[in-house]
């Protein structure tokens, strides 16, 4: 293994606060992991920390960091290790109207479907792949409901690495097709995402493959935090008042928080925006347990497959971030998600998958409940393309029957 990346950062356990050198541990905190059980979120997820004081003394303001591609806040040695495929730097759009009605607040949409495999997960896969390449790790395994798997498969294809993807047998065919086309080894597993996740961990222990799993590998959070750096830069070094984030395992929202926390630790920003965790009502195992004394599982039932999770693997870190920085949370039902999908598409030209439009549905619910202040800036994180799973839209799309090619029939369709 190369030593430079191992010396530039350390880990701290988000549950017991024990610190580890990066060369001492790879996945979970060894102490906390001993008490983990399959029916509860894992304790011991690690947070990656850097020498913030040293960077501050060296004058690493945002301008200098952005010029160097934030390499000093990433756990790799060289940006050239990152995949050739363009990951990140996705567009940020501002819209002033919805359904021809002027909005009294600013609405920004961050479109991460523009990543190489059309989802936010490419941020994590790219960093994990780069780290693996620098450290001579040739086989990467992951469990996925589809997006993380297709992301890792595509990124590994560009890096000449071998990817092994374990998926629940019910995963959407479009995502499975991506995995196969990228040349990865796909392993459908009977049962849920959690069953696939557990099997991938056993395979890692048995064969020594490098594991990309959400939260289990702390570098997934480091990849996802880059979206916060981009938001800050794209908004002219300003912060939105609120950011709506879709939540399943809790890693994306933790990544958003971690990016802003890094900037705060460097004195570049003084506060973190209000971040709203939006979950599907049919899979609210993270938000429903935030203020509870013990964790209880409700079997998930939602069409938003990418955030359908019974056991949120990054529950403790996400919960701690939300409570520490006064975050907010809300649930939306499947009908609200589907309605939001239509509203988003026809008003913005952005077609997002249900998991992504869950965040937009949360924003709409805030608007309906008059919780978005006049003049405030509100950003919705859109995490994946609607082409990932078009089957779920069958009940809301109406395609007219073919007509005989004459003007009378054409007018009938146009005028309804």
pLDDT on residue 326: 97
Over residues 314-323, the pLDDT tens digits come to 999 999 999 9
pLDDT on residue 402: 87
The share of the chain scoring above pLDDT 70, in percent, equals 98
pLDDT on residue 416: 67
pLDDT on residue 3: 43
pLDDT on residue 145: 79
Alpha-carbon span 284 to 76, nearest angstrom: 34
Task: Give the mean model confidence (pLDDT) for residues 355-379.
Answer: 97
pLDDT at residue 4 greater than cutoff 50: no
Over residues 89-131, the pLDDT tens digits come to 999 999 999 999 999 999 999 999 999 999 999 999 999 999 9
Alpha-carbon span 132 to 332, nearest angstrom: 38
pLDDT on residue 78: 93
Residue of 383, 347, 340, 272 lying closest to 103 (CA atoms): 347
Alpha-carbon span 291 to 295, nearest angstrom: 10
Dihedral sign from CA coordinates of 335, 341, 342, 347:
positive
Alpha-carbon span 307 to 331, nearest angstrom: 12
pLDDT at residue 206 greater than cutoff 80: yes
DSSP string, 119-144: BTTHHHHHHHHHHHHHTT--EEEEE-
Dihedral sign from CA coordinates of 111, 115, 117, 119:
negative
Task: Give the mean model confidence (pLDDT) for residues 174-189.
Answer: 90
Mean pLDDT of the chain: 92
pLDDT on residue 293: 86
pLDDT at residue 223 greater than cutoff 90: yes
Residue of 216, 344, 363, 211 lying closest to 278 (CA atoms): 363
Domains in the chain (CATH in brackets) are: 1-60 (no CATH), 92-114+225-393 (3.40.50.1100), 121-217 (3.40.50.1100)
Over residues 368-387, the pLDDT tens digits come to 999 999 999 999 999 999 98
Residue of 88, 81, 14 lying closest to 48 (CA atoms): 14
Confidence band, pLDDT 50/70/90 cuts, at residue 21: very high
Task: Give the mean model confidence (pLDDT) for residues 37-63.
Answer: 92
Task: Give the mean model confidence (pLDDT) for residues 192-213.
Answer: 92
> What is the CA 16 to chain-centroid distance, rounded?
25
Alpha-carbon span 49 to 262, nearest angstrom: 9
pLDDT on residue 200: 94
The share of the chain scoring above pLDDT 90, in percent, equals 78
Q: SS3 for 181-228, per residue?
A: HCCCEEEEECCCHHHHHHHHHHHHHHHCCEECCECCECHHHHHHCHHH
Rounded to the nearest 10 degrees, the angle between the axes of helix 251-265 and helix 122-134 is: 70
- Burial group, residue 4, by CB count within 10 angstroms (0-12, 13-18, 19+): exposed
Task: Give the mean model confidence (pLDDT) for residues 257-271.
Answer: 96
pLDDT at residue 392 greater than cutoff 80: no
pLDDT at residue 146 greater than cutoff 80: no
Task: Give the mean model confidence (pLDDT) for residues 332-338.
Answer: 96
Q: Which of 75-89, 217-231, 249-263, 380-394 has the lowest mean pLDDT?
A: 380-394
Confidence band, pLDDT 50/70/90 cuts, at residue 11: very high
pLDDT at residue 338 greater than cutoff 90: yes
pLDDT at residue 337 greater than cutoff 70: yes
Alpha-carbon span 204 to 18, nearest angstrom: 24
Over residues 395-404, the pLDDT tens digits come to 777 887 888 8
């Amino acid at each position: 293994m190369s030593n430079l990346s191992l010396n530039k950062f350390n880990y701290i356990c988000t549950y017991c606060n024990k610190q580890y050198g990066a060369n001492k541990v790879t996945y979970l905190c060894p102490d906390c992991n001993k008490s983990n059980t399959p029916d509860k979120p894992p304790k011991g997820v690690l947070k990656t920390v850097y020498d913030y004081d040293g960077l501050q003394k060296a004058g690493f303001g945002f301008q200098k960091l952005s010029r160097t591609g934030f390499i000093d806040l990433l756990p790799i040695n060289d940006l050239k290790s990152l995949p050739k495929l363009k990951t990140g730097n996705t567009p940020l759009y501002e819209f002033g109207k919805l359904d021809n009605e002027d909005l009294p607040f600013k609405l920004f949409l961050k479109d991460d479907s523009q990543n190489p495999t059309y989802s936010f997960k490419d941020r994590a896969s790219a960093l994990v792949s780069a780290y693996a390449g620098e450290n001579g790790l040739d086989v990467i395994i992951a469990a996925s409901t589809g997006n993380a798997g297709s992301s890792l498969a595509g990124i590994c294809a560009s890096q000449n690495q071998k990817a092994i993807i374990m998926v629940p047998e019910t995963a959407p065919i479009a995502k499975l097709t991506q995995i196969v086309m990228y040349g990865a080894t796909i392993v459908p597993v009977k049962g849920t995402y959690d069953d696939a996740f557990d099997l991938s961990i056993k395979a890692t222990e048995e064969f020594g493959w490098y594991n990309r799993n959400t939260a289990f590998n702390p570098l997934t959070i480091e990849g996802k935090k880059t979206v916060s750096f981009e938001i800050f830069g794209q908004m002219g070094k300003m912060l939105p008042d609120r950011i709506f984030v879709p939540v399943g395992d809790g890693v994306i929202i933790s990544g958003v928080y971690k990016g802003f926390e890094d900037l705060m630790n460097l004195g570049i920003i003084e506060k973190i925006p209000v971040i709203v965790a939006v979950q599907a009502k049919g899979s609210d195992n993270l938000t429903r347990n935030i203020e509870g004394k013990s964790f209880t599982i409700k079997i998930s039932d939602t069409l938003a497959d990418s955030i359908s999770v019974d056991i949120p693997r990054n529950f403790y870190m996400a919960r701690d971030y939300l409570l520490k920085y006064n975050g907010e949370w809300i649930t939306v039902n499947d009908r609200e998600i589907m309605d939001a999908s239509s509203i988003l598409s026809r008003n913005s030209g952005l077609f997002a998958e249900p998991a992504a439009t869950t965040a937009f549905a949360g924003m709409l619910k805030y608007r309906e409940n008059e919780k978005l202040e006049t003049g405030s800036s509100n950003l919705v994180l859109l995490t994946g393309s609607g082409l990932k799973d078009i089957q779920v839209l069958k009940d809301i799309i109406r395609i007219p029957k073919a007509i005989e090619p004459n003007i009378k029939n054409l007018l009938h369709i146009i005028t309804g």
